Structure 1
Amino acid sequence: MDHLTVIETSNDLASMTADDIALANYEVLRRAGRKASTVNQYTQTEKRWAEFCATRNLNPLNFEVVYIDAFFQTLKDAYSRTTLQNMLSHLRKAVEAIAASSDDTAALYLRQLQAMRHYKIDASWGGMNSHKRGGKRLPTQTVYAALNASASNPLLKARNGAFYALLFFAGLRREELRQLKWAQVDFDRSVIKVVGGKKRAKDESDEIPMLGDLKTILQQWRDVQALSVQGENRVYVISAIRKGGHLAADKPIASGAVYELMRPYEAMPHDARHTLVTNLLEKNVPLHTTQKIARHKRGETTMGYAHAMEAEQLAKTVPNPYG
């Protein structure tokens, strides 16, 4: 693969530039309503592809499968299999964009696109990033920094406060938070009914207590939300807010937005859950109670947190055996 040479191309193909790719692809993404972060991911993949072609004196506008395979052979140990699959999808979209941009080269690129659709990322590929990162415990000051973070408008500040409170005080998983409805929040009983979730049937439910400041924060968010829509009943607890400071459609917040809200704290959504469970155990909350709050199907999962915390405490208290 290191000795690949440039395939002879037609004048029409050779006359296209990298800017033509970017322009055509940008137009496809714009029409599809893709957000800026998604467009950036596509751009990064195209940049890696262009760099790969430059080092091998290849035409970056030629997407023959033999070159696509050579490209991924250089990346298979550096990225997770999921990331590699996403990159392949990005390149397919680029070829689709070019095919749609010119009638003269459409046939060529449609043929290459068809071949790329049959190309698969090998199941054995994926380097050290392929393993899911375990949760990490966040400091208490980080938790309250998130809960009290400033925002560009009062509506956004109240929504974000509720978002972080559900993660840190209820330990909701990403999809549980996204799909949470006001009908599942019982302020009278101070409980939240979580429907479905990990390793549960879609209609299976658990009730969890509103710990800490969660109830107060949710009530404040409900009042602010109701005021912003003039009393209209909203279904979902956490939804998007437009740049102008107005509530978007009554539907779950996007998955990408969940990760973006955790990014300022260099954390993932699961880290909030990890922090909650670890703190409960550290405060000597019984194991079975912690398991119920965390909605762990198996007690061994909760025990894993306890063992990790015990090891952490030992590292702090046991003296140097050779000191």
Structure 2
Amino acid sequence: MKKTVKLVPLQHRNKNNIAIQFVYDLKIKQCIMKLGAKWTKTHKCFYVESTSKNKQTIYYNLRDIGCYVDYSAMPKNQSKIYSKPIAKVKPRNEVSNSVIEMPKTHTDALQAFEDYLLGQRKSASTIHTYSNFIQLFLKFYSSRELSSLDFRDVEIFLEQVMAKRGYSVSSHRQCISGLKHFSKLELGLNYDPDDLFMPKKDKKLPVVLSSTEIVLILRATKNLKHRAIIGLLYSSGLRIGELLKLQLGDLDLERNAIYVKQSKGRKDRNCTLGHRIRPMLLNYSQTYQPKVYLFEGEQEGTPYNATSIRQFLKRSCAAANIQKHVTPHTLRHTYATHLLENGVDIRYIQELLGHSRPETTMIYTHVTERKINEITNPLDSAIQKFNKLDNEAANPLLYRNSNK
């Protein structure tokens, strides 16, 4: 018989949270603690922040261990859309998508789609993203039969929702990928997924910090734990998700290496650990004494929170008077760029970053300042060659009187 876990709205510490209620079971406790759930003595239950992402993550992980998740007490108008559109003032007659009820045929189709993605072994993040966009699509056509939707209807959805509501090009591309997968369920939709137009990716140069700016940020970070996190993100080029999953056994201080398990693309890899970060990590571990994860949250044995990292990094940048928009991923961009500027071969950088293709690394690291500065200006080159033939003036080509 399946064990039941109930999700209930909880107001705690002036925040909206989700209480996770269940008859004590060690397997369930370990599962939700790995997901970042915290224990409250006041309410005597585990809880997480009330977000659609947390709700779905709890649902899928508990279902994977054979639990029945009862979330009937949760607000039904809670939006599952994780990629947020640009805020805008809605016309009075425009109804919010979150309150649109779908018919059973549409909810069944959405559930079938989520099950299909699980069967395809897609990551939790991919399932969240694709399911959210398909839900948006189904709610947009909540009054239509699925078998009546054709290619033009899909185009109208992309025009009226994805474009007009200000979704990014990246989100637009993810939506189309979700629609292509959705078409494989053969629910009577009359469109060829191969005909869907995929907009080109934005080719934006990433924000990169200078070496001086990195040191200034570290010096401005007074908290030892925060300083160790920032230092490790930069010195090893880790993604924030990879850092949060690091356990004590994943560090090899003798070999100056970090073992990253099952990162993006379900790949393991080894990352280098800088010599200067070692004493900082040793000092941190002796002070905080983590038990399971290298960086733990308030609840012992649970991973640290990604939102907290973004917040204290923002404060450190402000304290260091850094005007650039800096995120944890900026430190990874900076790590890769500085390696390239220091002459490290692009193939080694690809391996350190965990990229499958060298093309990804080339785009990721972009053109470094060092290489641009080493390009000789054609005017300087022309004058230099001319001066070798005529030593009468410092710059004869520019200063000689052409009438003589």
TM-score normalised over the length of structure 1: 0.55
CA–CA distance in structure 2, aligned partners of residues 218 and 166 of structure 1: 9
Which residue is 1:251 aligned to?
302
CA contact (8 A) 1:76 1:126 kept: no
Letter in 1 for 2:292: V
CA, structure 1 residues 47+297, in 2 after alignment: closer, same or farther (shift >3 Å)?
closer
CA, structure 1 residues 126+138, in 2 after alignment: closer, same or farther (shift >3 Å)?
farther
In the TM superposition, 1:168-183 aligns within 5 A as 168-183=234-249
In the TM superposition, 1:1-323 aligns within 5 A as 30-32=16-18, 34=49, 51-54=89-92, 76-77=162-163, 78-80=166-168, 135-151=206-222, 157-201=223-267, 204-206=268-270, 208-226=271-289, 234-240=291-297, 247-264=298-315, 265=317, 266-304=325-363, 308-309=367-368, 313-314=371-372, 317-319=375-377
Q: Which has the higher contact order (CA 8 A, sep 6+)?
A: 1
CA, structure 1 residues 191+67, in 2 after alignment: closer, same or farther (shift >3 Å)?
closer
Gaps of 5+ in 2: 1-8, 19-47, 54-77, 102-138, 143-155, 173-195, 318-324, 381-397, 399-404
Letter in 1 for 2:250: Q
CA, structure 1 residues 81+249, in 2 after alignment: closer, same or farther (shift >3 Å)?
farther
Which residue is 1:18 aligned to?
none
Letter in 2 for 1:319: N
CA–CA distance in structure 2, aligned partners of residues 47 and 58 of structure 1: 16
1:182 is displaced (CA, Å) by: 0.9
Secondary structure of the equivalent of 2:236?
coil
Root mean square deviation of aligned Cα:
4.8
1:30 is displaced (CA, Å) by: 2.2
Gaps of 5+ in 1: 1-24, 85-123, 152-156, 227-232, 241-246
1:76 is displaced (CA, Å) by: 2.5
CA contact (8 A) 1:169 1:214 kept: yes
Q: Structure 1 or 2: larger helix share?
A: 1
Secondary structure of the equivalent of 1:274?
helix
Secondary structure of the equivalent of 1:235?
coil
CA–CA distance in structure 2, aligned partners of residues 173 and 183 of structure 1: 18
CA–CA distance in structure 1, aligned partners of residues 300 and 274 of structure 2: 29
Secondary structure of the equivalent of 2:368?
helix
CA, structure 1 residues 250+297, in 2 after alignment: closer, same or farther (shift >3 Å)?
same
CA contact (8 A) 2:242 2:263 kept: yes
1:165 is displaced (CA, Å) by: 1.2
CA–CA distance in structure 2, aligned partners of residues 275 and 290 of structure 1: 12
**Deviation string for 1:39-87 (max 9, x for gaps)?**
9xx9xx89958x3144xx568898576799x999665321238879xxx
CA, structure 1 residues 63+148, in 2 after alignment: closer, same or farther (shift >3 Å)?
same
Secondary structure of the equivalent of 2:220?
coil
CA–CA distance in structure 2, aligned partners of residues 292 and 194 of structure 1: 12
CA–CA distance in structure 1, aligned partners of residues 327 and 336 of structure 2: 15
Letter in 2 for 1:143: I
1:257 is displaced (CA, Å) by: 3.0
Secondary structure of the equivalent of 1:148?
helix
CA contact (8 A) 1:53 1:60 kept: no
CA, structure 1 residues 127+256, in 2 after alignment: closer, same or farther (shift >3 Å)?
farther
CA, structure 1 residues 26+319, in 2 after alignment: closer, same or farther (shift >3 Å)?
farther
CA–CA distance in structure 1, aligned partners of residues 246 and 355 of structure 2: 18
**Deviation string for 1:203-236 (max 9, x for gaps)?**
x442x3211421121111111112xxxxxx5111
Flag the structure with larger Rg. 2
CA–CA distance in structure 1, aligned partners of residues 85 and 262 of structure 2: 39
CA–CA distance in structure 1, aligned partners of residues 141 and 365 of structure 2: 49
CA contact (8 A) 1:184 1:192 kept: yes
CA contact (8 A) 1:180 1:237 kept: yes
Identity over the aligned pairs, expressed in percent?
21
CA–CA distance in structure 1, aligned partners of residues 309 and 224 of structure 2: 15
Which residue is 2:180 aligned to?
none
